[in-house]
Amino acid sequence: MGGGTGGGLLVAGTTSDAGKSVVTAGICRWLVRQGVKVAPFKAQNMSLNSFVTREGAEIGRAQAMQAQAARVEPTALMNPVLLKPGSDRSSQVVLMGKPVGEMSARGYHGGRQEQLLGTVLECLAELRGTYDAVICEGAGSPAEINLRRTDIVNMGIARNARLPVLVVGDIDRGGVFASFFGTVALLSPEDQEFVAGFLVNKFRGDVSLLEPGLDMLENLTGRRTYGVLPFQHGLGIDEEDGLRVSLRGSVRESEVSSPVGEDILRVAVCAIPLMSNFTDVDALAAEPGVVVRFVDRAEELVDADLVVVPGTRGTVRALEWLRERGLADALARRAAQGRPVLGICGGFQILGEHIEDEVESRAGQVDGLGLLPLRVRFAREKTLTRPVGEALGEPVEGYEIHHGVAQVTGGEPFLDGCRVGEVWGTHWHGSLESDGFRRAFLREVAAAAGRRFVPAADTSFGSLREEQLDRLGDLIEEHADTDALWRLIESGAPTGLPFIPPGAPA
């Protein structure tokens, strides 16, 4: 495929969770396999799942995953604005990888967002000047008419950067034709000029039964459908929103392979409020014979071989929640019985003795669960690092994203945290993606739990992730009109697209 310079595409959606992130990743992987130098971009991301780039910038994990799909190193340019919810009404604003303060939704949409448009466009222009193509991801729906005036992530950026827009709809939810039509019909004539067409996601069944509807949609809107992607399990990788994770069932619809040993290993993840970087447990779910589930009741910890207390954007609030639901007492009983508990980042802080927080919750001095010998003081400056080390005789890599500074006063050292008996704690996210360390850790857990579980000797999380990304690329290559997609990326939206009334309200 030829490489035009600075081509681009915006992948929008009829709703949140329509599949924009994975479609963007799939297009990136398809393009890079064709020899195109491609990068992902999302102007503004709202997510509690984030990642630290090599230069120490915090960006959404979805953009880091898309960069991996594109086989490029993720940078802050790819996600210049990251919003990390701290409540239903306010978020921490991370600009170019660094936190710049908390802001209410009203304050952000009331003026701050518009001020960031210049920064966002500069980042996109820099990427387009470096890469043959930039595949941008929108947010929510472009037809959120109440937010259009301040929009910098959907049609606001499409019009300013003259990007063709591909609208993705999740047909598994139903109502996809109405969603496609309504999305276009609620946009202004100027916005509609950039909406090139549609992509159906998560289709089950015989495509020939869908085709008459796609023809009708094209007759109604003057816009074609660029592909129908079939439903596939296990492709919800590095999702953006920990608030929407299901409390029931295993992670990412993952299918548990048969164990290598005689027993399976059960992992319960406490679904604490404002749960962040729940992607940490994906590497556990990838192990044959490991069953991972999210739980919110104390009795669900009883049969667990390992309990994980994950990261959170609200450490003190999560601590209160654990106490209110009886999970704190259940964790204390586990520790007393020598049954494994792992705390990661905010979960690590919760397991300590004392928390001094004048930054996140402004709650002041708060008692932790007292299961690990550490005191935590919240600093205004956020720690953003990519540490490398060793644990259980194996090399480990990770990344740190936290305001809490831990003073460890005892126990055995463990990934800059500590271990007491079978209670482990660390600030390191992503450590379980290090294969040798993960296997060694699971062997320890199985021994403490009395399970005849044996980690598979050949599970490579990195290889599994690459296989997933290749499956996304295959979906685009096999089920989308790739020639037409490339023309969009290279040349922009077709001219003469009809206006669909009524358009945006005045």
The phi and psi torsions of 378 (rounded to 5 degrees) equal: -80, 125
Place of tokens 């909406």: 195
Query: Of the residues 402, 403, 427, 429, which is catalytic?
Result: 429
Round to the nearest angstrom and report the end-to-end CA distance of the chain: 43
Distance CA 257, CA 385 (A): 34
Distance CA 212, CA 62 (A): 34
Distance CA 233, CA 469 (A): 13
- Bridge partners (DSSP) of residue 138 are none
Task: Respond yes or no: is residue 479 known to be catalytic.
Answer: no
Q: Beta 58-60 vs 50-52: how paired, if at all? A: antiparallel
Q: Hey, what's the torsion of the CAs at 108, 110, 113, 117, to 10 degrees?
A: -170
Query: Of the residues 28, 123, 345, 418, which is catalytic?
Result: 345
SS3 content of the chain, % helix, strand, coil (to 5): 35, 30, 35
Q: Is 64 exposed, middle or buried (0-12, 13-18, 19+ CB in 10 A)?
A: buried
Task: Respond yes or no: is residue 429 known to be catalytic.
Answer: yes
Q: What is the DSSP string of 315-328?
A: HHHHHHHHHHTTHH
Distance CA 22, CA 265 (A): 29
Residues with catalytic roles:
345, 429
